[in-house]
Amino acid sequence: MLRQHSGHWQTGALERPLGRGINFQIFVGSVAPLLDALEKAQWPLFRECHDAWYRIAGEERGNRQFLVQDPDGYLLRFAQDLGKR
């Protein structure tokens, strides 16, 4: 998904190379085991786990998601499908 820059997830100045403006979304069956492993490793979350709903073609689809920054500075968004409402 391509998005227009909003600044909400900016981890540093957008200087070349522009990899700091990238986030990768990875769908998993459950985010809970990942959150447990990150907590045990004392790895900080960039954005806490939350439920997000997106309107797509007249319906809402939900994700339970969080963001973590990897050692190279890339944002990884792990998401669990919550279905439709």
CATH number of the CATH domain containing 73:
3.10.180.10
Backbone angles phi and psi of 38, in degrees to 5 = -65, -40
Residue 83 backbone class (left: φ over 0; alpha: ψ -120 to 50; beta: rest): left
Domain ranges, residue 70: 26-84
Q: Once rounded to an integer, what is the mean pLDDT over residues 49-70? A: 95
What's the total number of domains in the chain?
1
Q: Which residues contact 62 (CB under 8 A, 6 or more apart)?
A: 51, 52, 53, 54, 81, 82, 83, 84, 85
Q: Which residues contact 7 (CB under 8 A, 6 or more apart)?
A: none
Question: Is residue 8 in a domain?
Answer: no
How confident is the model over 6-38, as pLDDT tens digits? Answer: 667 777 777 755 566 678 999 999 999 999 999
